[in-house]
Structure 1
Amino acid sequence: MTAHLLTGVRPYGEDPADVLTADGRIAAIGPDAAAQAPAGTVRHDLDGLVALPGLVDIHTHLRQPGGESAETVLTGTRAAAVGGYTAVFAMANTTPVQDSAGVVEQVLRLGREAGWVDVHPVGAVSAGLEGRHLSDMGAMAHSAARVRVFSDDGRCVADPVLMRRALEYVKAFDGVIAQHAQDPRLTEGSQMHEGAVSAELGLRGWPAVAEESVIARDVLLAGHVGSRLHVCHLSTAGSVDIIRWAKARGIDVTAEVTPHHLLLTDELARSYSPLYKVNPPLRTAADVEAVRAALADGTIDVVGTDHAPHPLESKDCEWAAGAFGMTGLETALSVLIETMVAPGRMTWRDLARVMSSAPARIGRLTDQGQGLEVGAPANITVVDPGVRRTVDPRAQWTRSANTPYAGMELPGQVVATFLHGRPTVLAGEPVAREEA
């Protein structure tokens, strides 16, 4: 494997250093890295740019199999690499559902063939996402995909007995249940956050308690059986309070927040554009402030994009007919810089924790999220934080254009991404495997 020398980068935004990769690992960091470079090393002059460990997304929808009109494993993972990611967890709500060893191994194979990032399939909790019977979690856990994260995301595991059984089952192989916290009865027909704006617009409201009540139930169940629970896309101040309470009592729960819930509010629904229609819905400014504070103080563990691509016809329509979901892989890092790093609420090391090491730990990855250290896998993202760019859906690499940030100016540009020592992105552009 070709060695690469990254000169003048600032690991975690700190002092400049040269970084040498060889044989898929970080071989040296510091002033003597160049002297250790073997013959044939490729040099990349990246003076002053910030180097981070490769980003890991705990929550990605790649749509394949079955939803190729919106995204494929190839297009989605290429977009992920452009966004600075080196690993993604692919959610189970595909067609067929990822509820068996055969389907998760198919997704694993597609990811390896694409080669842009490591793809880790998420297994369904219930067979067919129907919420009635457990899926074959054991077979998926012991398959070639070694599934450790299980979720019916897109749907809530609403039955408390089924949820308890799932939490008990995954203990055998150190798995985790990632819950989509949404009481289906409280949100039937709901279109946006329940509050002043929904009342003014005449759209059926989605109450915060529909999320919070499920989280409260599930942290109690997780504590009761002694299992791991992960809460997907937490979005309300009340949910933050419940997670904080659970952690203070030693319950093994982790939580994620999406970039869009860190930046956008329900006020955007006044446009009636389905680009701003998402599940859970955009909340109030007070909720946004609460989740920012919780991410900064560690109550919320990770940022998950919930990258949810849709074909044009699913978003270019009236609000009620629009699909829930937003793309996010290519903009997540920029949103975190805008909302957390630039205001001084988080350091670059903090960002690396919530976007790399913590999601890798939750998903039990051993070759991702290991940080920028000699001997660690050479999964590296290099970002220019001084660039500000206007988001153009036509310039993105995802197959779908349903970004809520279209026309917005955001900071930061991923300049280079290295996956196990191989460049997947250089000069901000994808690098074909044969060119690397």
Structure 2
Amino acid sequence: MATVIKNGTIYNSGRLFKADLLIERGKIVAIGQDLTAAKTIDASGKLVTPGLIDVHVHYRDPGQTYKEDILTGSKAAAHGGFTTVGAMPNVIPVPNTPDLIEQMVAENKAKGIVHILQYGPVTNDEVTDEIPDYAALKKAGAFALSNDGHGVQSAQTMYLAMKKAKEQDLIIAAHAQDDSLFNHGVINEGKKATELDLAPISELAETTQIARDLLLAEKTGVHYHICHVSTKRSLDMVSLAKAQGINVTCEASPHHLLLSEDNITKDDPYYKMNPPLRSEENRQALVQALADGTVDLIATDHAPHAQKEKNGSFSTAAFGITGSETAFSMLYTRLVRTNIISLEKLLSLMTDQAAEKFALKHCGYLEIGEPADIAIFDLDQEFAFSDQDYQSKSTNTPFTGEKVYGQTVMTLVDGQVVYQRGE
């Protein structure tokens, strides 16, 4: 049955315009005025966008499905307007072999309600110096490589990994962390670490590894992508590297864009994440980097944990914050409605920019003949995040209770409704 989305304000490729959108057999077949079909979705007063893209999520499946699984993770993504996500490989077991990658790709497709792209690891088990067969992992379905959650500690290992990744045209998405400088810290090295008497994490844990890796990326030519960049010094290095022609991109996470250590008023592990919340100066530098193009895309680092793992103190709780269901609304409310960035810029960072930088096909744009992966948002009606509304198994976010705008009304994947508000 053909479906028309009528009277919405469409975002596509940097532009906002009024139009109808016609869907048949899961594809977009027309974008124009006065389109009709057997089924109508009235988007009057609503924003219609390509399905959002999130290249950084953790679904804990297999191995820790009490936190999240493929189905609940993808439901959370759909609730947030995301239709394509990249799932990190820090699961149990880590998919070091093509057989394990094939199994995960098959499970993602069978159980997920959005498109789930699968990362392979940079090194076996993410913490060794053994490099898996990248050609075999790519053939089995890995779309990129990451050890997220762990930095590659050996420069020689990273150098060899970059050379091999370049040969296979695979992106290395790096969690930049020198463990010797991280030194078992739990909170940013700054006034809150002192005030709360908690073990500090130096910015050097991030910045020194980025400096190392940028030189290695220059030598090898690999596409080096920095996950969840969090410091002004990191951004300065990325900007310089881009000017010198190094093939580097980076992402910022909503929590680093919206929160700083100033938001931590007590020992509350809902604010414990890795990288940690930095100073307000660093947060403002990240926001500025959205506008000037140093930050290439926004990715949530959706990291669900069970309640018991986020209780207690910074010193004992798990690192991580959920993000799929709060990202667009929080960013729209805090950055767009306050005129810090434009709506077009925010949407670009969450759709076409992500698709372009990761060379993703069939997503990020609304184009005739392409899959009808679409999100519809209500920008005008205020609402509040509630534990009862979350589709994720986990609720470890300090944004619960926030009054925001930009609620997801509907999400479609291949023309089928996978999320609808109120149902």
Q: Same fold (TM over 0.5)?
A: yes
Q: Give the match for residue 127 of structure 1.
A: 124
Query: Is the Cα–Cα contact under 8 Å of residues 59 and 91 in structure 1 kept in the other structure?
Result: yes
Q: Give the match for residue 5 of structure 1.
A: 4
1:150 to 132, 145, 148: 145
Distance in 1 (CA, whole Å) between partners of 2:262 and 2:34 is 53
Q: What is the DSSP-based 3-state SS (H/G/I as helix, E as strand, rest coil) of the residue aligned with 1:185?
A: helix
Distance in 1 (CA, whole Å) between partners of 2:147 and 2:422 is 34
Distance in 1 (CA, whole Å) between partners of 2:396 and 2:384 is 15
Correspondences of 1:241-260 after superposition (within 5 Å) = 241-260=236-255
Q: Give the match for residue 22 of structure 1.
A: 24
1:87 to 84, 88, 92: 84
Q: Give the match for residue 388 of structure 1.
A: 382
Q: Give the match for residue 360 of structure 2.
A: 365
Query: Is the Cα–Cα contact under 8 Å of residues 174 and 226 in structure 2 kept in the other structure?
Result: yes
1:114 to 105, 111, 114: 111
Correspondences of 1:14-93 after superposition (within 5 Å) = 14-34=16-36, 37=37, 41-93=38-90
Distance in 1 (CA, whole Å) between partners of 2:335 and 2:128 is 37
Q: 1:352 to 1:390 in 2, by over 3 A?
A: same
Query: Is the Cα–Cα contact under 8 Å of residues 222 and 251 in structure 1 kept in the other structure?
Result: yes
Distance in 1 (CA, whole Å) between partners of 2:105 and 2:341 is 34
Q: Give the match for residue 368 of structure 2.
A: 374
* Residue 180 of structure 2 corresponds to residue 181 of structure 1: no
Query: Is the Cα–Cα contact under 8 Å of residues 3 and 421 in structure 1 kept in the other structure?
Result: no
Q: Give the match for residue 159 of structure 1.
A: 154
Q: What is the DSSP-based 3-state SS (H/G/I as helix, E as strand, rest coil) of the residue aligned with 1:7?
A: strand
1:325-370 per-residue CA deviation (whole Å, 9 max, x = no partner) reads: 000000011122023322333333322321122222333321111x
1:203-249 per-residue CA deviation (whole Å, 9 max, x = no partner) reads: 12111121111111111110111111000000111111111111111
Q: What is the DSSP-based 3-state SS (H/G/I as helix, E as strand, rest coil) of the residue aligned with 1:280?
A: coil
Whichever residue aligns with residue 373 of structure 2, its letter is: N
Q: What is the DSSP-based 3-state SS (H/G/I as helix, E as strand, rest coil) of the residue aligned with 1:270?
A: coil
Whichever residue aligns with residue 258 of structure 1, its letter is: S
Q: Report the RMSD for the aligned CA atoms in angstroms.
A: 1.5
Q: What is the DSSP-based 3-state SS (H/G/I as helix, E as strand, rest coil) of the residue aligned with 1:171?
A: helix
Distance in 2 (CA, whole Å) between partners of 1:176 and 1:197 is 36
Distance in 2 (CA, whole Å) between partners of 1:16 and 1:322 is 47
Q: Give the match for residue 228 of structure 1.
A: 223
1:389-427 per-residue CA deviation (whole Å, 9 max, x = no partner) reads: 222123201001111212222221011111121211223
Q: Give the match for residue 95 of structure 2.
A: 98
Count of paired positions: 420
Distance in 2 (CA, whole Å) between partners of 1:115 and 1:130 is 28
Q: 1:364 to 1:124 in 2, by over 3 A?
A: same
Query: Is the Cα–Cα contact under 8 Å of residues 273 and 319 in structure 2 kept in the other structure?
Result: yes
Q: What TM-score does the superposition give when structure 2 sets the normalisation length? A: 0.96
Q: What is the DSSP-based 3-state SS (H/G/I as helix, E as strand, rest coil) of the residue aligned with 2:148?
A: coil
Distance in 1 (CA, whole Å) between partners of 2:41 and 2:163 is 49
Runs of 4+ in 1 over 4 A off after TM superposition: none
Whichever residue aligns with residue 372 of structure 1, its letter is: L
1:426 to 413, 417, 420: 420
Distance in 2 (CA, whole Å) between partners of 1:417 and 1:47 is 16
Distance in 2 (CA, whole Å) between partners of 1:80 and 1:378 is 16
**Identity fraction in percent:** 37
Q: Give the match for residue 215 of structure 1.
A: 210
Q: What is the DSSP-based 3-state SS (H/G/I as helix, E as strand, rest coil) of the residue aligned with 1:321?
A: coil
Distance in 1 (CA, whole Å) between partners of 2:371 and 2:49 is 13
Query: Is the Cα–Cα contact under 8 Å of residues 394 and 401 in structure 1 kept in the other structure?
Result: no
Q: 1:188 to 1:428 in 2, by over 3 A?
A: farther
Distance in 2 (CA, whole Å) between partners of 1:22 and 1:248 is 44
Q: Give the match for residue 402 of structure 1.
A: 396
Q: 1:100 to 1:196 in 2, by over 3 A?
A: same
Distance in 1 (CA, whole Å) between partners of 2:422 and 2:132 is 40
Q: What TM-score does the superposition give when structure 1 sets the normalisation length? A: 0.93
